[in-house]
């Protein structure tokens, strides 16, 4: 018995009951549509995060004080092992390093006349703009001379500038940080938000000034190291690790008292999160696909009962068990495949709509579409098998007598 005839028989059975067939397919339609749309949202989010992380600066290694613990999460808080001298040594001794930025962040109150904001004071070195790809839009940034003199100068992020100086030019104005007077020498370009973190809500001061005059400490929290190319990253990472171990006088049995992460690691952490989210959403959608499959099984069982006599006739004229099995299997697969195709269209239209209405980035991935479609076919086969077997095993005499 050839396939074209079987498919035609199945198609005829489906269109004989259009409303019932549509309702049966609805489960698969919703399931496939949900998988496609959910994965599109997850992938869109992942792409957006990737782009943002990449905008932070390329070929960047990040050195944190403290050892890596808890699956890659560095414990930084109280660790005081990294110093400005470490940063300078890295700059001079590790090959392929083009720039080093040592940083220290503390929250603090910043006051200009009657205005005051609670913001992040970021103590940095003159290399910061080059290494972090974050430049002043007006005025100038902290200079080497400022570092040497521990000058009381500050560069404002856009958010802070907007809040302290709503209608005056901040350049040359005097502000107070923790009661110490600083002169504003520059305003940074807007950088936007990364996740929940506003990168413009910050005040930059020279690292030496902050250590001595603001916080009374001699360590830094983070050292950013810019490397010439992505290929040079592994060597640079090993080189600076060896250098820091040597400088910190760590014996071979001691663990690192610092940790080094690359942009790739950060990206991996972000994409890991978004992959989990995609899987979760896709998993929920897959459950609805299974529910759709149960709907197909239900209606196929009804169909087998209704068409018992037809099965008897077919058996009497020579249909083998296999012929009947294949016929009903193709019918359930035809239901799930039609549902799958409609579902894919629905998912694509749905994610377009989500992008337009909610403004979320969505990305239709061909793999997700293919996966959802094959899952729909599998659902048709799996849930169609039992009813088809029941049909194939019917006794021809009983079936012919059936009213």
Of 138 and 400, which has the nearer Cβ to other proteins?
Answer: 400
| Residue among 126, 107, 111 nearest 206 (CA) | 126
Under rule CB under 8 A, residue 312 binds other proteins: yes
Query: For residues 188, 192, 196 and 200, what is the CA-based torsion angle, rounded to 10 degrees?
Result: 10
CB 322 within 8 A of CB 14: no
**Which residues within the stretch 316-345 sit at the binding site for other proteins (CB under 8 A)?**
316-323
CB 64 within 8 A of CB 202: no
Q: Which of 73, 264, 353, 397 binds other proteins (CB under 8 A)?
A: 397
| Assigned token pair, 109 | 């109150």
Q: Other CB atoms closer than 10 Å to residue 235's CB: what's the count?
A: 13
CB 388 within 8 A of CB 329: yes
Of 103 and 310, which has the nearer Cβ to other proteins?
Answer: 310
Stretch binding other proteins (CB under 8 A), from 92-100, 149-157, 313-321, 354-362: 313-321
What's the burial of 124, exposed, middle or buried (CB within 10 Å: 0-12/13-18/19+)? buried
Under rule CB under 8 A, residue 111 binds other proteins: no
Looking at beta carbons, which pairs linking 114-119 to residues 24 or more positions away fall under 8 Å? 115/163, 115/164, 115/165, 115/166, 116/164, 117/160, 117/163, 117/164, 119/157, 119/159, 119/160, 119/201, 119/202, 119/203
**Which residues within the stretch 14-33 sit at the binding site for other proteins (CB under 8 A)?**
16
CB of 400 vs other proteins, minimal distance in Å: 7
Of 12 and 135, which has the nearer Cβ to other proteins?
Answer: 12
String of contacts with other proteins for each residue 43-72, x by CB under 8 A: ------------------------------
CB of 24 vs other proteins, minimal distance in Å: 19
Of 321 and 370, which has the nearer Cβ to other proteins?
Answer: 321
Under rule CB under 8 A, residue 251 binds other proteins: no
* φ, ψ at 216 (rounded to 5°): 65, 45
| Assigned token pair, 390 | 């029941």
Q: What element of type H or E holds 221?
A: none
Of 276 and 305, which has the nearer Cβ to other proteins?
Answer: 305
DSSP annotation of 230 reads G
CB of 363 vs other proteins, minimal distance in Å: 45
CB of 316 vs other proteins, minimal distance in Å: 5
Under rule CB under 8 A, residue 1 binds other proteins: yes
Under rule CB under 8 A, residue 400 binds other proteins: yes
Q: Which of 135, 149, 212, 309 binds other proteins (CB under 8 A)?
A: 309
Of 45 and 334, which has the nearer Cβ to other proteins?
Answer: 334
CB of 348 vs other proteins, minimal distance in Å: 35
Q: Other CB atoms closer than 10 Å to residue 59's CB: what's the count?
A: 20
What's the burial of 47, exposed, middle or buried (CB within 10 Å: 0-12/13-18/19+)? middle
Under rule CB under 8 A, residue 261 binds other proteins: no
Stretch binding other proteins (CB under 8 A), from 30-38, 75-83, 218-226, 309-317: 309-317
Of 126 and 396, which has the nearer Cβ to other proteins?
Answer: 396
Of 46 and 315, which has the nearer Cβ to other proteins?
Answer: 315
CB of 328 vs other proteins, minimal distance in Å: 15
Query: If DSSP codes are grouped into helix, strand and coil, which group holds residue 350?
Result: helix
Report how far residue 338's alpha carbon sits from residue 21's, in angstroms, rounded to the nearest whole number. 10
Cβ partners under 8 Å of residue 74, min gap 6: 64, 66, 67, 68, 259, 261
CB of 329 vs other proteins, minimal distance in Å: 16
CB of 345 vs other proteins, minimal distance in Å: 29
**Residues found near other proteins in the complex (CB under 8 A):** 1-2, 5, 12, 16, 309-310, 312-323, 396-397, 400
């Amino acid at each position: 018995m050839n396939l074209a005839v079987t498919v035609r028989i199945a198609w005829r059975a489906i269109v004989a009951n259009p409303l019932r067939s549509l309702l049966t397919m609805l489960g698969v339609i919703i399931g496939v549509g949900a998988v496609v749309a959910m994965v599109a949202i997850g992938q869109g989010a992942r792409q957006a995060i990737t782009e943002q992380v990449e905008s932070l600066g390329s070929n960047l290694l990040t050195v944190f004080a403290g050892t890596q613990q808890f699956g890659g999460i560095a414990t930084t808080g109280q660790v005081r092992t990294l110093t400005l001298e470490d940063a300078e040594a890295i700059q001079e001794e590790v090959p392929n390093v083009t720039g080093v930025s040592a940083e220290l962040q503390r929250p603090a109150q910043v006051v200009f006349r009657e205005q005051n904001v609670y913001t992040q004071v970021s103590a940095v070195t003159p290399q910061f703009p080059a290494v972090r790809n974050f430049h002043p839009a007006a005025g100038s940034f902290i200079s080497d001379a400022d570092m040497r003199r521990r000058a009381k100068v500050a560069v404002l992020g856009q958010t802070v500038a907007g809040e302290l100086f709503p209608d005056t030019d901040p350049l040359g104005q005097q502000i107070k940080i923790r009661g110490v007077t600083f002169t504003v020498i520059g305003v940074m370009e807007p950088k936007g938000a990364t996740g929940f973190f506003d990168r413009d809500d910050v005040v930059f001061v020279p690292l030496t000034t902050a250590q001595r005059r603001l916080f009374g400490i001699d360590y830094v929290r983070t050292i950013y190291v810019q490397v010439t190319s992505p290929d040079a990253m592994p060597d640079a990472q090993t080189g600076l690790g060896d250098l820091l171990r040597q400088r910190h006088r760590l014996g071979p049995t001691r663990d690192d008292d610092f940790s080094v992460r690359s942009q790739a690691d950060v990206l991996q952490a972000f994409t890991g999160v978004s992959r989990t989210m995609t899987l979760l959403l896709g998993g929920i959608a897959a459950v609805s696909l299974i529910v759709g499959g149960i709907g197909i099984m239900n209606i196929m069982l009804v169909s087998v009962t209704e068409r018992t006599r037809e099965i008897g006739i077919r058996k009497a004229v020579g249909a083998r068990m296999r012929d009947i099995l294949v016929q009903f299997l193709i019918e359930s697969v035809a239901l799930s495949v039609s549902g799958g195709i409609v579902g894919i269209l629905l998912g694509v239209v749905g994610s377009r709509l989500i992008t337009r209405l909610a403004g979320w980035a969505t990305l239709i991935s061909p793999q997700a579409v293919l996966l959802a479609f094959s899952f729909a076919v599998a659902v048709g086969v799996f849930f169609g098998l039992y009813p088809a077997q029941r049909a194939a095993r019917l006794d021809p005499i009983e079936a012919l007598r059936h009213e």
